[in-house]
Structure formats: structure tokens, C-alpha cells
Copies of this chain bind each other. A is one copy, B any other.
Amino acid sequence: MAISLDQAKTMINVTRAKGREMGLKPLSVVVLDAGGHVLAFEREDGAAPGRFGIAQGKAYGAVMLGMSGSAQMARAEQQAFFMAAVNGVYGGQVVPVPGGVLVRDATGAVIGALGVTGDTSDNDAIAGKAGVEAAGLQAEI
């Protein structure tokens, strides 16, 4: 199963709505497919111009390693050189902190990832989880 554009847009809309409900700073939200390629992205007014790369980096590491942002951060805290090496392999595109949310279908297969940035990493992840679940999919933060 692949994430449709309609599902990706639902994820982004609901992530943004959750951010507003929680009173978060302006968010930037990306959805990547199962190959780590961009399906959809939105940057809210007032967010810094470089936020696309951060959102993408959170989601990219999740898809490419099959590890959520929290799991990647745990590994970075244990073994910083490992995540640095991973970044060498992936061209510097991995941002290993919460806000990178793995997206799974009903069978548990990873079908993509959502990346959120703008507030604290933990708040980014909470908003992103709401977005993924609103599309009827499973979120692993």
C-alpha cells in the first residue's frame, strides 16, 4: 500500500491543526513515500526559510533506516559517531530527533514518514502523530 496524495494532505492539515490547538510556533510538515521521496509539503507563514530541509531530514532518516525520530535520537545519544556515519552514507540528509514519524499501514509495513519542525522536537512529534492517525495510518514517533 502506498500513501496517496489525499492521505498526505490530510496528514499535513491535521498536523497543522493540532499545532494550532497546542499553541505551537509555525510548523513545516513534509510527507515522504516508502522510497524517501517527497509527496507533499507545507511551510506555515512565519516559519524560517530553511525549514524544508529540517522537516525532510527528520522524515528521511526515519524511512531510510526504518527507525522513528526518537529511536534515532537514542542511538545518537549513545553513539554519536554512528549517526554521523549514517549521515555520510545518506549525503547529510538525516536529522535524528523527534518529529520524524514513521508511517505504517494496517499490516505494520513502513509506507513512508512524516517530518515536522518548528516547535520543540517533542511537540513536533505529538502534532505529527495526530496527523498520521487522522489519515487512518499508524504513527511511530
- Number of this chain's copies in the complex: 4
Bound form: Cα–Cα A35–B36 in Å: 7
A37 within 8 A of B: yes
Q: Are A87 and B88 in contact (CB under 8 A)?
A: yes
A96 within 8 A of B: yes
Within 8 A of B (CB), among A15-67: 33-50, 52-54, 56-57, 63-67
Chain A, interface size category, equals 35 or more
Q: Are A37 and B52 in contact (CB under 8 A)?
A: yes
Q: Are A92 and B95 in contact (CB under 8 A)?
A: no
Bound form: Cα–Cα A80–B79 in Å: 10
Using known A-B contacts A85-B96, A96-B85, determine if residue A50 contacts B63 with beta carbons closer than 8 Å.
yes
Bound form: Cα–Cα A90–B67 in Å: 22
CB nearest neighbor in B for A63? B49
A10 CB → nearest B CB, Å: 13
